[in-house]
């Protein structure tokens, strides 16, 4: 792991080459800013502040979208991806999230889990069909807001 340099103007970069499922290499951890920005300390710090502010705005927008209509989680992860272009902690969070999502997808493809999900879905559909049948038997095809006291 490269934790820094004695040379002025260089930025610390952690090299995190890891293999996922033995096939795909992940990118090295650290800043993805252009070289001319990394070469100047003040410019690089300004770049990091700008990336942080833009990422924060996107994450806050995603948090606002959670209770409102909109793709809240997608926007939050988009903001994390913006942060991950510059900050190692965000890159590690995204790697952890990708790993957990992949594990969940693999578990969902397990035949036992799929069988359980199909059974639970079937039971739910039967319950909904019974409730709709009882409603139609009692009220017919009337809309709920047009039903008079019966």
Determine phi and psi for 19, rounding to 5 degrees. Answer: -105, 135
pLDDT digits (tens, 9 = 90+) for 14-42: 444 444 444 455 667 777 777 777 777 88
Tell me, what's the pLDDT at 139?
77
Could you tell me which residue, 45 or 22, shows the higher pLDDT? 45
pLDDT of residue 137: 86
Q: 66 and 77 in contact (C-beta within 8 Å)?
A: no
Residue that the structure tokens 């970069």 belong to: 13
> How far, in Å, CA of 129 to CA of 122, rounded?
10
**Angle of the 88-108 helix axis to the 72-84 helix axis, nearest 10:** 140
Q: What are phi and psi of 40, to 5 degrees?
A: -115, 120
Mean pLDDT of the chain: 79
Mean per-residue pLDDT, 47-59: 91
Query: What pLDDT was estimated at residue 61?
Result: 93
Tens digit of pLDDT for each residue in 65-123?
A: 999 888 888 999 899 999 988 888 888 988 998 899 899 888 888 888 889 989 999 99
């Amino acid at each position: 792991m490269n934790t820094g340099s004695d040379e002025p103007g260089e930025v610390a970069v952690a090299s995190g080459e890891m293999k996922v499922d033995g096939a795909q290499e992940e990118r090295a951890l650290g800043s993805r800013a252009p070289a001319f920005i990394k070469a100047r300390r003040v410019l690089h710090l300004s770049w990091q502040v700008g990336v942080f502010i833009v990422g924060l705005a996107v994450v806050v927008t995603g948090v606002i979208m959670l209770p409102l209509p909109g793709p809240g989680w997608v926007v939050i992860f988009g903001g994390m991806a913006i942060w991950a272009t510059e900050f190692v902690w965000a890159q590690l969070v995204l790697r952890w999230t990708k790993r957990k999502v992949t594990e969940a997808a693999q578990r969902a493809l397990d035949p036992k889990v799929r069988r359980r999900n199909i059974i639970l879905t079937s039971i739910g559909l039967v319950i909904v069909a019974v409730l709709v049948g009882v409603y139609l038997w009692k009220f017919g095809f009337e809309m709920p807001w047009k039903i008079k006291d019966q």
